[in-house]
């Protein structure tokens, strides 16, 4: 092969022949692929979490004695006004296993639905909590910080109000925002039922990625914090794609999401947040790896950690690859076969693993310019993807980020996304669709 070989320095093999999760959050079926699994080999296991012997320490919730701000405020929006209501309650109970301390505020807004769960008194509407430690996994013990009544979790206003409240009431040195719900990637295509993230049954609304609503939330959160979010996470299916990560890079440092469908249990908040409580000095990349590794330990599908500063440096390399593809006599033919051979995911056969696609491109074409462009982009993606945890042969070639390569139908809302202003990849999409 001309130009050298691809680098896989961040990954080592860890075979697991389990299949896809039995009940993904989005309910979509798709072409799962086959093969082994990979996890990063250079990340040590996170700390074991809270020591139950400390439960009687009355000082755990006090501010740091030196008067400095707490290390972290972690804001989790549990958008449960849909068929995930039961699991939103379960995850809040998981967070109580860790509980807030003087160094870590764990804040939740929980929006419930009608008719899916009668747990915790079967109240409806939305409530806010500063999560307190409690070992009972079946009953919420944290006091209600605010009872909001009915809210629209498919609106930007609900998220912006929550973040503003969290930053105002619980200022910290670092801020994390985690969005919890169904996920469908970047798209907003009502005819296919795929509408971004955060569906709300009561209103019928959801948050669009392509049409700018998600970015409105990110911009408001960055303004509220006075700088930018340290950590953005998506406890939802199919959200680890280049398009969403590239938008997020304008407003945050680290992005954590899954390329594939997640099982209905979602992230392991009990163990991951306990690790943070035990070591609040963690930086965002470390916290991301803790969430990804703890998720991996549950046997779930994929979770990757993206250094958004590095990702923002990819634009020129993507343009170089785009130029090489567009210079071909038939760009569609040059892309179609390697795309179809690369790893795809449940939600959309047009979402292909970025680095796997690059490898297939090089294997399918000996042109020096395309090989050089592909290898340079692969090297930079390897730097941007800090960790990539996968379980099961169906995601064996997943390396951490997907990208849209339409070889089987086309979603015109792709051209609405502001990522099109950042590179020439939209020109490739236009040429091959």
Q: Tell me how far apart the terminal alpha carbons of the chain are, to the nearest angstrom.
A: 28
Comparison of pLDDT for 189 and 271, the residue scoring more: 271
Please report, rounded to a whole number, the percentage of residues in the chain having pLDDT higher than 90: 68
> Region 406-431: what's the mean pLDDT?
93
pLDDT at 431 over 80: yes
Quick one: pLDDT at residue 234? 98
Task: Name, in order, each residue with C-beta under 8 angstroms of 67's C-beta and a sequence gap of 6 or more.
Answer: none
> Region 189-214: what's the mean pLDDT?
81
Distance CA(156)–CA(178), nearest Å, equals: 14
Quick one: pLDDT at residue 18? 42
Task: Name, in order, each residue with C-beta under 8 angstroms of 362's C-beta and a sequence gap of 6 or more.
Answer: 1, 3, 6, 370, 371, 374, 375
Comparison of pLDDT for 429 and 393, the residue scoring more: 429
Task: Out of 110-119, 165-174, 298-307, 313-322, pick the least confident.
Answer: 110-119
Quick one: pLDDT at residue 6? 39
Quick one: pLDDT at residue 67? 62
Quick one: pLDDT at residue 64? 56
The answer to whether 172 touches 73, Cβ cutoff 8 Å, is: yes
> Region 48-59: what's the mean pLDDT?
42
- Read off the pLDDT of residues 180-192 as tens digits, 9 standing for 90 and up: 999 988 876 555 5
- Read off the pLDDT of residues 209-218 as tens digits, 9 standing for 90 and up: 999 999 999 9
Quick one: pLDDT at residue 38? 40
The residue count of the chain comes to 433
Residue 165's H or E segment, with its range, is helix 156-169
Comparison of pLDDT for 429 and 56, the residue scoring more: 429
Quick one: pLDDT at residue 194? 58
Helices (H), 249-367: 269-278, 284-297, 308-311, 315-326, 331-341, 354-364
- Read off the pLDDT of residues 281-330 as tens digits, 9 standing for 90 and up: 999 999 999 999 999 999 999 999 999 999 999 999 999 999 999 998 89
Quick one: pLDDT at residue 365? 62
Rounded to the nearest integer, the mean pLDDT of the chain is 85
The answer to whether 98 touches 61, Cβ cutoff 8 Å, is: no
pLDDT at 23 over 60: no
pLDDT at 200 over 70: yes
Distance CA(104)–CA(70), nearest Å, equals: 6
Task: Name, in order, each residue with C-beta under 8 angstroms of 190's C-beta and a sequence gap of 6 or more.
Answer: none
């Amino acid at each position: 092969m001309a130009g050298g070989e691809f680098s896989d320095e961040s990954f080592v093999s860890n075979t697991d022949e389990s299949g896809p999760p039995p009940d993904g959050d989005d309910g979509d079926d798709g072409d799962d692929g086959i093969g082994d699994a990979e996890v990063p080999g250079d990340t040590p296991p996170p700390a074991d979490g809270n020591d139950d012997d400390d439960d009687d320490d009355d000082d755990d919730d006090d501010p740091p004695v030196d008067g400095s701000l707490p290390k972290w405020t972690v804001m989790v929006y549990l958008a449960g006004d849909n068929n995930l209501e039961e699991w939103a309650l379960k995850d809040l109970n998981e967070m109580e296993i860790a509980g807030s301390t003087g160094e870590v505020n764990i804040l939740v807004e929980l929006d419930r639905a009608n008719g899916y769960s009668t747990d915790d008194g079967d109240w409806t509407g939305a409530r806010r909590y500063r999560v307190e430690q409690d070992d009972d996994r079946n009953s919420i013990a944290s006091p209600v910080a605010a009872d909001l009544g009915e809210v629209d979790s498919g609106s930007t206003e609900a998220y912006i109000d929550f973040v503003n409240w969290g930053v105002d009431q619980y200022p910290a040195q670092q801020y994390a925002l985690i969005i919890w719900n169904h996920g469908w990637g970047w798209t907003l295509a009502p005819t296919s039922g795929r509408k971004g993230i955060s569906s709300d049954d009561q209103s019928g609304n959801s948050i669009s990625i392509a049409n700018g609503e998600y970015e409105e939330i990110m911009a408001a959160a960055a303004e509220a914090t006075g700088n930018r979010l340290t950590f953005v996470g998506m406890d939802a299916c199919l959200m680890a794609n280049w398009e969403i990560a590239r938008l997020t890079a304008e407003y945050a440092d680290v992005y954590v999401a899954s390329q594939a469908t997640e099982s209905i249990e979602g992230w392991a908040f009990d163990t991951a947040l306990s690790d943070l409580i035990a070591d609040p000095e963690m930086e965002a990349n470390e916290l991301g790896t803790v969430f990804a590794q703890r998720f991996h330990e549950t046997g779930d599908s994929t979770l990757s950690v993206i250094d958004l500063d590095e990702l923002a440096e990819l634009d020129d390399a993507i343009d170089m690859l785009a130029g090489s593809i567009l210079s071909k006599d038939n760009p569609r033919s040059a892309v179609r076969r390697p795309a179809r051979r690369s790893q795809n995911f449940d939600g959309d056969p047009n979402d292909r693993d970025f680095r796997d696609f690059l490898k297939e491109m090089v294997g399918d074409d000996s042109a020096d310019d395309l090989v050089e462009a592909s290898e340079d982009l692969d090297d930079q993606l390897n730097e941007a993807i800090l960790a990539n945890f996968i379980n099961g042969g169906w995601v064996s070639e997943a390396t951490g980020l997907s990208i849209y390569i339409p070889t089987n139908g086309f979603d015109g809302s792709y051209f609405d996304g502001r990522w099109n202003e950042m590179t020439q990849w939209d020109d490739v999409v236009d040429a091959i669709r």
